[in-house]
Amino acid sequence: MMEHVAEKLKGIEPEMLEVLVFCRHVYAEDATSLSQDYVRDYLAVYITNHWWEYWGDDHLRSNFMKLLQQFPQLDKDVNERRRPMLEERIDQSQEDSDADMD
């Protein structure tokens, strides 16, 4: 079943709340297959790419925080993917600052 879900994810763009609901199901069990790993990766990347939207929406933020607290593995997966993005933003900010000084 998880293989089927993993294949279907390639062709859809879920809503943000749907992703949170889906995370509850996928992270409730230990990962036992490559398909489940793929689905977890997809969800963590999706959340990472929409991080500020989750934080900016009062309704989503509350659900988002509860989800991260309930599933530490999801929190870890998301943060592992956020780190390179944050480092890139910092580097870009420093480059912009250096260019402004010239």
The mean pLDDT of the chain is 87
Residue spans of the domains in the chain: they are 2-97
pLDDT beyond 90 at 10: no
Burial 53-78 (b: 16+ CB within 10 A, else e): ebeeeeebeebbeebbeebeebbebb
Entry pTM: 0.79
In this prediction, residue 65 carries a pLDDT of 95
- E strand segments, 1-102: none
DSSP string, 6-34: HHHHTT----HHHHHHHHHHHTTS---SH
Is 36 in contact with 49 (CB distance < 8 Å)? no
